[in-house]
């Protein structure tokens, strides 16, 4: 080559990308199957039932859920997050079904605990699968979501979940003070070993739509439910940091950011500001959009799954809750 512009180019980053061996040697972020948690939906009875907006996700009755648990373990996935889809006639304004000893999610937890001792069981704590209005808490007379009465219910839900064999309770309601209250009540009840994964920075996101179809909390023919009086504004990272640090002080064992993809800056900020393990939830809408594009032949599904999940880990998440967990685990070597 003639002497020219690149005459003295000694620093050539491409040298390390030349071969598969060099690329592997210099790999910075490595996704493991054990980083992944699979959210699952449990229903009262009947055959597995698809969710239109969530391809490959089925609502499962308990016997099918147990089988699914075995498949997940075989794939190297160590954690399941449980969400109940209860029949509409069990819903009321108080979400009273949530505090029954034999409610669906607790029955599922007991059976999973027995059948799969090594599976990590995570249970969401919030009232939206149980209320006829679809909010995560109890309503005050003026229609707003009442903070302190809701926390009273959440602490009871936590104790019931823990006694049913749940390893990690995950309050997803965004009420003030709930992490501290749950920790206190669990300890008083002798459930010190049960961990809290706090949905600390949970944003009022339009990406939850398909999930609401799956748990049946979407209000048909109405505008999407408005949770902005408790979930975070997408514009606000300082408010997110405030919530993250508060949950740490209140005794959370894990801090979660949700959704993941649109909030990777928050994941990174959390990683830099706390020593707790950080979880990020790639939510139903993030799942649906990749599937929809792939169905049109516009994106390669498996490649986009791995890239999006790896990106979440690279941003600073130790743990990723994703509906793609099963597919991703099948694609990973370890
Ligand atoms: C409810 C809850 C939601 C999700 C998890 N727990 C929805 C909401 O806040 O309306 C969303 C999960 C997803 O979209 O995958 N407390």
Contact present, 289 and 214 (Cβ < 8 Å): no
Q: How far apart are CA 308 and CA 286, in angstroms?
A: 9
For position 221, what pLDDT does the model report?
Answer: 62
Q: Which atom of ligand 1 is nearest to the CA of 208?
A: 14
Q: Give the confidence band of 101 by pLDDT, cuts at 50, 70, 90.
A: very high
Contact present, 257 and 266 (Cβ < 8 Å): yes
CA distances (Å), origin 99, targets 37, 87, 155: 25, 16, 10
CA of 208 relative to ligand 1 center, distance in Å: 6
CA of 211 relative to ligand 1 center, distance in Å: 6
CA of 110 relative to ligand 1 center, distance in Å: 23
Give the chain's domains with CATH numbers.
31-333 (3.20.20.70)
Q: Give the confidence band of 301 by pLDDT, cuts at 50, 70, 90.
A: very high
Whether the predicted pLDDT of 220 surpasses 70: no
Q: How far apart are CA 74 and CA 51, in angstroms?
A: 24
Instruction: Indicate if ligand 1 lies below 6 Å from the C-beta of 208.
Output: yes
Whether the predicted pLDDT of 323 surpasses 80: yes
Q: Which residues are catalytically annotated?
A: 202, 258
Instruction: Indicate if ligand 1 lies below 6 Å from the C-beta of 126.
Output: yes
pTM over 0.85: yes
Query: Percent of the chain at pLDDT above 90?
Result: 93
Nearest Cα residue to atom 10 of ligand 1: 208
Instruction: Indicate if ligand 1 lies below 6 Å from the C-beta of 112.
Output: no
CA of 291 relative to ligand 1 center, distance in Å: 19
For 55-90, how does the pLDDT look when each residue is reduced to its tens digit (9 = 90+)?
999 999 999 999 999 999 999 999 999 999 999 999
Nearest Cα residue to atom 11 of ligand 1: 208
For position 8, what pLDDT does the model report?
Answer: 87
């Amino acid at each position: 080559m003639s002497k020219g512009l690149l005459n003295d180019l000694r620093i050539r980053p491409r040298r390390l990308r030349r071969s598969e061996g060099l690329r592997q040697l210099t790999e910075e972020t490595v996704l493991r199957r054990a980083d992944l948690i699979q959210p699952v939906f449990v229903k009262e009875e009947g055959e597995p039932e698809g969710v239109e907006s969530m391809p490959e996700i089925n609502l499962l009755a308990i016997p099918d859920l147990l089988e699914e648990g075995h498949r997940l373990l075989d794939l190297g996935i160590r954690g399941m997050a449980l969400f109940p889809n209860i029949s509409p006639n069990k819903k009321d304004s108080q979400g009273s079904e949530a505090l029954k000893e034999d409610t669906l999610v607790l029955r599922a937890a007991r059976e999973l605990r027995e059948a799969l001792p090594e599976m990590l069981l995570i249970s969401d704590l919030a009232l939206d699968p149980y209320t006829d209005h679809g909010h995560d808490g109890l309503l005050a007379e003026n229609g707003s979501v009442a903070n302190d009465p809701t926390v009273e219910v959440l602490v009871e839900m936590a104790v019931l979940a823990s006694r049913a064999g749940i390893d990690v309770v995950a309050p997803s309601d965004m009420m003030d003070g709930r992490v501290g209250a749950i920790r206190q009540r669990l300890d008083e009840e002798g459930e010190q070993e049960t961990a809290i994964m706090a949905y600390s920075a949970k944003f009022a996101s339009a990406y939850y739509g398909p999930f609401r179809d799956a748990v049946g909390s979407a209000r048909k023919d109405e505008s999407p439910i408005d949770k902005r009086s408790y979930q975070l504004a997408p514009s606000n990272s300082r408010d997110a940091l405030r919530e993250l640090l508060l949950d740490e002080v209140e005794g959370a064992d894990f801090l979660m950011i949700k959704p993941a993809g649109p909030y990777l800056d928050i994941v990174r900020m959390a990683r830099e500001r706390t020593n707790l393990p950080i979880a990020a939830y790639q939510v139903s809408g993030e799942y649906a959009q990749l599937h929809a594009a792939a169905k049109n032949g516009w994106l390669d599904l498996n490649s986009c799954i791995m890239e999006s999940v790896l990106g979440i880990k690279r941003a600073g998440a130790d743990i990723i809750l994703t509906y793609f967990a099963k597919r991703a685990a099948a694609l990973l070597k370890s």
